Structure 1
Amino acid sequence: MTFFARTPAVATGPGDRSSASRGRRLASTLVVMIGLLALFGALGYLLPALGAPIGPKGIPSHVSTDPHNLPYYALRSVLRMFIALFFSLVFTFIYGLAAARSKRLRVVLVPLLDILQSVPILGFLSATISIWLVLFPGSILGVEAASIFAIFTSQAWNMAFSFYNSLISEPTELDEAARSLRLTRWQRFWKLDVPSSMIPLLWNCMMSVGGGWFFLTASEMISVNNHTFALPGIGSYVEEAASEQDLGKIGWAILTMVIVVLLIDFLLWKPLTAWAEKFRVTQSESAAPKRSAVLTVLRLSGINDFLAHIGRPIASFFDRITRPLGVTGARFQSQDGRHDRQLLVNSLYAALLGLVGAWGIWKLYELVVPALGLSEMAHVCWLGLLTLLRVTLLLIVSSIIWVPIGALIGMNPKLSRILQPVVQVFASFPANFVFPFVTMWFLAWHIDINWGSILLMALGTQWYIVFNVIAGASAIPDDLREMSRSLRQPTWQRWKTLILPAVFSSWCTGGITAAGGAWNASIVSEVVSYGKHTLTAQGLGSYIAEATSIGDTPKIIAGVVVMSIFVVAANRLFWAPVQGLAQRRFSIA
């Protein structure tokens, strides 16, 4: 067993040993070596700055807006983004696996994930910034850790939802094969769980990076409790340039961001999406497989064999140490005549959770209600209802527009090669970078921010639906597509009987994460400013943003709790039944 899935061998023939072929292999090896040296060199250049000591003037509250600093700022931002993405992946694998494999833990973990994705990024920052500063005293690393953690909170939840949904909807025959082969839990994870979830997880990784870019300004220019901590980065640069009302500098930042997004797409996402095609559940090869120049160079260089050679002993070691955990199909909970005992344990478990929940509610009541009063709490609930209406309208319009487009992109490899970079640019581009221009447009055309904020929220959250639908359409087996063509189904019938049912589960995942992202995006969408002009919409997002900036803890807690209640209630009352329907009626198993 190995960590790394085998890749298709490069086609060989009688002339494979020719000088031209050897030249291509040598050139590919040199390119890969130069790329690795450049990567390690960039890390060596950036890492010392992360732990630099705090100067005598304390943590800076401003950054330079000299455009010459933009390449360095972009590198710092990209480093934060991918450190957060690494921790998000680790969290996704642990959390999603625990929720999918343990019914007892699922009762707690799935609703908790609903709550976590509903907590706005400013809520996490206001609660943790002091902790990070205490953990790393006298070093800028404390603020860096807070920034990375904030980006993590904008990335992890949709990835965890995607992985969890992939696990609970694995094809039945593959699950039975894993049980028949008596794979260990570790083997099953790498042989079945990760490969079967690879395509939707990869697209959600792309979306997570896009979500991280969206909240980049709040992550790099941290304003909590009447204090501002500024880190060198492209997000803080835009925030500073907007306060100076310098549209030219904002334009340079936008150009830099477009270049960064295109490079990441070319060097990372395109090779990964082409490589992930091997994990599609199908019995026939795709007629138009996805291609990537970077992936071709990597395969020619022989790095696959090198990684597999390193991975085999590591995999064998983990195989041995994880065998005591049991094999696939074994149950940790007791069986065989112990039903009454198990029922008692479950009852005690539920009672304990109820007591802990009641204690937490009481403590929140003591902390918030006496300080604010019932009238203020009613006002917060009303603001939450206004934001809920915006989120609902956003989801309806985004689904109507983007489900057909996403399905077409996912099912057509040629179209995907053309439009994927375009979608990736728009999804990864921080929409709040253009907020200053939008603010000027709203002012010039007298557009009410209460309606305009819906557009601003959509700029950052509609992509959750797009990417999940693309992933769902990409995973439709070629056998079913060929059958549909052989039956000469009309277009409307093909959409009704194949495409929409196939992407329904992916749309559910995208809808859940888009809703959570929209609530989070309300923080930066219901309050927009440019220079001396500030537009504020009535809603829970603007309420939390204002309370965070002045450090009003009871109002912050009240806003976060009400937002969490709205999100969890929507997920339990609407999304949970819809997901159940998707698993029963529309899963490919």
Structure 2
Amino acid sequence: MSGEGGFPSRGVWRRPALRWVDVLVTAALVGLLYGLLRLAPSLDAPFLPEQAPSTVSTDPSDLPYYAVRSLLRMFVGLVVSVLFTFVYATAAARMRRAEKVLLPVLDVLQSVPVLGFLSVTVTAFINLFPGSTLGLECASIFAIFTSMAWNMTFAFYASLTSQPGELDEASRVMRLTKWQRFWQLDVPGGMIPLVWNGMMSFGGAWFFLAASESIRVLGHQYALPGIGSYAAAAIQEGDLGKVGVAIAVMVVMVVGVNVLFWRPVVAWSERFRVEESEAAERPRSAVLDFLRRSSVPELIGRPLRPVGTALDRGTRAFGLAEHPLAPPAARERTGDVFFAGAVTAVVLLGTWRALDYVDATVGLGEFVHALWLGAVTFGRVVVLLVAATVVWVPIGVWIGMNPKVTRFAQPVVQVLASFPANFLFPFATVLFVALGISLNVGAVLLMALGAQWYILFNVIAGAYAIPSDLREAMTGFGVSGTLRWRAFILPAVFPYYVTGGITAAGGAWNASIVAEVVDYGSHHLTATGLGAYITAATATGDFPRILVGISVMSIYVVALNRLLWRRLYRIADTRYAL
């Protein structure tokens, strides 16, 4: 039987057969939605701060439930971090005057330790949701967010400021709106570094999971169900067996998240690589291949297409993606003067109020003591950065420039980077006590366990992002040995290394909070340093010393960024951007 023109018509209007891959994807989505609905009541359970539990059960049978609660907090923190990154990094890269304020503020925010945020936000969130656990959940998620967002924001900002000029010109010629430019140029251009730094940030958040779920601030102890609070309770009990169980569960979680989420995202981000020749071998993901064979993602995305079209049309009224005409030089200088004057006035007012508060409580001499402690911690940070650079830059280049090695090494590196090293602190404490090693020395190793991976991940991302045609050109010209490293590899990964270095330094300062004070059972080790100072002040609710400690840490971090990392950023933008 044929229709008009002799073309066969049988089966043309037949509904596509249901495929097993669609059934599995649908079942997974339904299961995920069901799990979220089951968890929802526990997120809004009744809560009274005076009667809140200070610890959680260490029964291993509770670990599956704790793991799900922790994963939910981690992914909510990741979503909020991505939204923050898009808004903040774009504003810093596209608004010249705002950049002068946003980047120093980002430096300060990165330098504030997680405990510093918790000491302020816990009470605020509890009061925002009175009588509900949701306030404590928000405080925990906010702490996770603060350990993710800054690294991702720096990475996306670096990709925006180093965009190829021809792509920028093309967006103007095509008369794209600001909305279209963001989604068709800015986000695709920064996707690879954003994904790799997202993985690293997610791993860094695992490091502070115990601090964000077992919260000890202002003389109070709050505990939320989670794998981090379980590990904190097991450490407090001095039960190495239960700590080992928590470590095993954590490894399963990290590997599962890597296989089911990060590897598919890395493979998917390959579509945004800009190069003229095809890579010899691209990363693969069985999960991504599975999803591509299913029609469920297409069915879910189809109703959203009219929304995207409407946004593209609606945003044209707000202007195109091109810089406005340059204002007269006199008006430009006048605007700069007023802007700088307003910012300076706000900074001076805040500084004066803070100094007056400290002077009236503990005295300004406390800053001298904190500055000395900061110099000790700064020495540990410098040792860590130098050692991590010497060790991990060659290894990161080797992994990133060999796709076969990347496929096998990336999951291993992800596990090592994502694993919360403070879970190993009890074993390190036992080792330090047995060998008579002072925590003043051991703290460098403990800080490295949480901070060195930023350099490794960014170098891998930089080597991995080198266009294949450049690699082939270097091989074709016979460039090898020291010349290849000096003229090709190091310049290519330098912008990524700077991003990794600045976030590793910030991560090291943050890690000093938990690395300079280690507790296990009856053992209590304390190192001399600013991290131990802030930890002690936070635990007792000593606001003046918390303010002094955070201010001094911010001074060190911002000064290092201004004097070193920003200058390296400028070199990366002007000399080594592809």
TM-score normalised over the length of structure 2: 0.95
Aligned to 2:163: 170
1:217 to 210, 217, 222: 210
Question: How far apart, in 2, do the equivalents of 1:324 and 1:470 lie?
Answer: 41
2:222 to 219, 229, 241: 229
Question: How far apart, in 1, do the equivalents of 2:170 and 2:212 lie?
Answer: 45
- Residue 52 (structure 2) pairs with residue 59 (structure 1): yes
Aligned to 2:189: 196
Deviations 1:123-173 (A, max 9, x none): 111111111011101111111111011111111000110111100001111
Question: How far apart, in 2, do the equivalents of 1:190 and 1:335 lie?
Answer: 26
Aligned to 1:284: 277
- Residue 68 (structure 2) pairs with residue 75 (structure 1): yes
Aligned to 2:143: 150
Question: How far apart, in 2, do the equivalents of 1:304 and 1:311 lie?
Answer: 11
Aligned to 2:263: 270
Aligned to 2:433: 443
Residue identity opposite 2:267 in structure 1: A
Aligned to 2:96: 103
Contact 1:403 1:465 in 2 (8 A): yes
- Residue 23 (structure 2) pairs with residue 33 (structure 1): no
Deviation at 1:321, TM superposition (A): 2.4
The alignment-based identity, stated in percent, is 54
More off after superposition, 101-110 vs 275-284: 275-284
Residue identity opposite 2:72 in structure 1: L
1:393 to 383, 400, 406: 383
Deviation at 1:61, TM superposition (A): 0.8
Contact 2:26 2:296 in 1 (8 A): no
Contact 2:358 2:364 in 1 (8 A): no
Deviations 1:389-415 (A, max 9, x none): 111110110011111111111111111
Structure 2 gap ranges (5+):
1-10
Deviations 1:295-321 (A, max 9, x none): 111010024433442332111121122
- Residue 392 (structure 2) pairs with residue 402 (structure 1): yes
Aligned to 2:241: 248
Contact 2:113 2:513 in 1 (8 A): yes
Deviations 1:445-490 (A, max 9, x none): 1111111101101101111111111111111001001111111222
Deviation at 1:544, TM superposition (A): 0.2
Deviation at 1:504, TM superposition (A): 0.3
Question: How far apart, in 1, do the equivalents of 2:50 and 2:383 lie?
Answer: 47
Deviation at 1:57, TM superposition (A): 7.0
Question: How far apart, in 2, do the equivalents of 1:396 and 1:311 lie?
Answer: 49
3-state SS, counterpart of residue 235 of structure 2: helix
Deviation at 1:373, TM superposition (A): 2.4
Contact 1:289 1:413 in 2 (8 A): yes
Deviation at 1:211, TM superposition (A): 1.1
Deviations 1:328-352 (A, max 9, x none): 1132xx635x321221121011111
Contact 1:135 1:142 in 2 (8 A): yes
Contact 2:144 2:208 in 1 (8 A): yes
- Residue 350 (structure 2) pairs with residue 360 (structure 1): yes
Question: How far apart, in 1, do the equivalents of 2:102 and 2:335 lie?
Answer: 18
3-state SS, counterpart of residue 223 of structure 1: strand
Change in Cα spacing, 1:559 to 1:152, as seen in structure 2 (3 Å) is same
Aligned to 2:480: 490
Change in Cα spacing, 1:56 to 1:535, as seen in structure 2 (3 Å) is closer
Question: How far apart, in 2, do the equivalents of 1:223 and 1:112 lie?
Answer: 26
Number of residue pairs aligned between Structure 1 and Structure 2:
564
Contact 1:59 1:140 in 2 (8 A): no
Residue identity opposite 1:450 in structure 2: N
Deviation at 1:375, TM superposition (A): 3.2
2:404 to 411, 414, 430: 414
Question: How far apart, in 2, do the equivalents of 1:50 and 1:408 lie?
Answer: 45
Deviation at 1:48, TM superposition (A): 1.6
More off after superposition, 497-506 vs 486-495: 486-495
Residue identity opposite 1:129 in structure 2: V
Contact 2:366 2:548 in 1 (8 A): no
3-state SS, counterpart of residue 222 of structure 2: strand
Contact 1:383 1:538 in 2 (8 A): yes
Aligned to 1:306: 299
Aligned to 1:514: 504
Change in Cα spacing, 1:311 to 1:286, as seen in structure 2 (3 Å) is farther
Aligned to 1:324: 317
Deviations 1:173-230 (A, max 9, x none): 1111111111100000000000010011001111111111100111000001110000
Question: How far apart, in 2, do the equivalents of 1:500 and 1:231 lie?
Answer: 45
Aligned to 2:462: 472
Contact 1:369 1:377 in 2 (8 A): no
Question: How far apart, in 2, do the equivalents of 1:408 and 1:375 lie?
Answer: 50
Question: How far apart, in 1, do the equivalents of 2:50 and 2:112 lie?
Answer: 33
Residue identity opposite 2:572 in structure 1: A
Question: How far apart, in 1, do the equivalents of 2:30 and 2:42 lie?
Answer: 19
Question: How far apart, in 1, do the equivalents of 2:463 and 2:303 lie?
Answer: 35
Residue identity opposite 1:28 in structure 2: V
Question: How far apart, in 2, do the equivalents of 1:83 and 1:305 lie?
Answer: 24
Aligned to 2:373: 383
Contact 2:81 2:145 in 1 (8 A): yes
3-state SS, counterpart of residue 65 of structure 1: coil
Change in Cα spacing, 1:173 to 1:492, as seen in structure 2 (3 Å) is same
Question: How far apart, in 2, do the equivalents of 1:418 and 1:69 lie?
Answer: 33
Contact 1:458 1:518 in 2 (8 A): yes
Aligned to 2:529: 539
Superposed, which structure 2 residues align to 1:81-100 within 5 Å? 81-100=74-93
3-state SS, counterpart of residue 110 of structure 1: helix
3-state SS, counterpart of residue 534 of structure 1: strand
3-state SS, counterpart of residue 222 of structure 1: strand
Deviation at 1:443, TM superposition (A): 0.5
Deviations 1:93-133 (A, max 9, x none): 00000000000100000000000000011111111111101
Aligned to 1:582: 572
Aligned to 1:6: none
Aligned to 1:335: 326
Deviations 1:532-554 (A, max 9, x none): 11110100000000000001110
Question: How far apart, in 2, do the equivalents of 1:51 and 1:205 lie?
Answer: 29
Aligned to 1:44: 37
Question: How far apart, in 1, do the equivalents of 2:445 and 2:326 lie?
Answer: 54
1:530 to 512, 517, 520: 520
Question: How far apart, in 1, do the equivalents of 2:166 and 2:194 lie?
Answer: 21
Question: How far apart, in 1, do the equivalents of 2:426 and 2:358 lie?
Answer: 35
Question: How far apart, in 2, do the equivalents of 1:396 and 1:232 lie?
Answer: 38
Deviation at 1:41, TM superposition (A): 1.8
Question: How far apart, in 2, do the equivalents of 1:379 and 1:55 lie?
Answer: 38
3-state SS, counterpart of residue 221 of structure 2: strand
Change in Cα spacing, 1:381 to 1:56, as seen in structure 2 (3 Å) is closer
Question: How far apart, in 2, do the equivalents of 1:47 and 1:392 lie?
Answer: 45
Contact 1:395 1:514 in 2 (8 A): yes
Residue identity opposite 2:396 in structure 1: G
1:187 to 173, 176, 180: 180
CA RMSD of aligned residues (A): 1.5
Residue identity opposite 2:326 in structure 1: Q
